[in-house]
Chain A
């Protein structure tokens, strides 16, 4: 296994997440796609740490910080989704036009 194998898996996972975030209509689906993109970044960090700097663990520490930030992001995001859906009564992002009044 070389570093390139892991980087290709990370890139593919990131682009699958990007595709989902660009095309899903359901706002919870977009949040799920963003989680996939976070995971792709974490795979790359762990792989770079293992292959280029095997004597330290700084890459894994940054990956742990990203996991924590992702948890905070999804908690606030889902609370916002709950509040928006309570007001607009729809889950589809093209109907979120509150700023239009």
Chain B
């Protein structure tokens, strides 16, 4: 059962990620990005990370993918569908990715022996305790980062009405 979930979720994640980077229509790319992120959330569930699964669906699929979809529809033009969406360095990029994959494959070969024995258990209680005890300072810093991002987004997307354009 675990291997069926693993293989189906990773197939969906990888195929839709490939479609994200190759499709010409940016709206389709954004839709497949949402599907790929949801499949990665499924992989978290297979790994027994239940709170991470919920956070992935809430923040990534419900927040980031929808936000990207909004901006794509705000800025997209019909003429984009007839233009090439890939620059002329794609062969060099493919070479870089292939060589990196060979190197990563060799490193991953060191980890084949490890197997899991313990069944997964609920993690929410322990994560909450960790956030307010050992990771309290990073937790507060993250809230500052979110506040700065909020103010920055308002500042950069603000239009000055009085300025003649």
The dominant DSSP class at the A interface is: helix
Is A82 touching B111 in the complex (CB atoms < 8 A)?
no
CB distance from A86 to the nearest CB of B (A): 8
Residues from 114 to 133 in B contacting A, C-beta threshold 8 Å: 114-118, 120, 123, 126-127, 130-131
CB distance from B43 to the nearest CB of A (A): 6
What is the CA–CA distance of A18 and B103 in the complex, to the nearest angstrom? 15
CB distance from A47 to the nearest CB of B (A): 6
A72 — which chain B residues lie within 8 A by C-beta?
A: 145-146, 148-149
Mask for B137-154, Cβ within 8 A of A = 1, else 0? 010001001101110111
Count of CB-CB pairs between chains A and B under 8 Å: 234
CB distance from A9 to the nearest CB of B (A): 5
Instruction: Report how many residues on chain B are interfacial, defined by Cβ distance under 8 Å.
Output: 87
Is B96 touching A18 in the complex (CB atoms < 8 A)?
yes
The dominant DSSP class at the B interface is: helix
What is the CA–CA distance of A22 and B26 in the complex, to the nearest angstrom? 16
Q: Does B94 contact A (CB under 8 A)?
A: yes
CB distance from A42 to the nearest CB of B (A): 7
What is the CA–CA distance of A64 and B104 in the complex, to the nearest angstrom? 24
B67 — which chain A residues lie within 8 A by C-beta?
A: 74-75, 78
Question: Can you list 29 A-B pairs with a CB-CB distance of less than 8 A?
Answer: A1-B46, A4-B108, A7-B111, A15-B100, A15-B104, A23-B21, A23-B86, A23-B87, A24-B87, A25-B83, A25-B85, A35-B64, A36-B36, A39-B60, A42-B40, A43-B44, A54-B117, A57-B123, A61-B135, A69-B145, A70-B64, A71-B59, A71-B149, A75-B150, A76-B149, A78-B67, A78-B68, A78-B71, A79-B156
Interface residue ranges, A against B (CB under 8 Å): 1-9, 11-13, 15-20, 22-26, 28-29, 31-33, 35-36, 39, 42-43, 46-47, 49-52, 54-58, 60-61, 63-65, 67-76, 78-83, 85-86, 91, 94
Closest 7 CB pairs of A and B: A20-B21, A72-B149, A22-B93, A79-B156, A79-B153, A11-B104, A79-B157
Interface residue ranges, B against A (CB under 8 Å): 2-3, 6, 10, 13-14, 17-18, 20-21, 26, 29-30, 33, 36-37, 40, 43-44, 46-49, 51-52, 55-56, 59-60, 63-64, 67-68, 71-72, 74-77, 80, 83-87, 89-90, 92-94, 96-97, 100-101, 104-105, 108-109, 111-118, 120, 123, 126-127, 130-131, 135, 138, 142, 145-146, 148-150, 152-157, 159
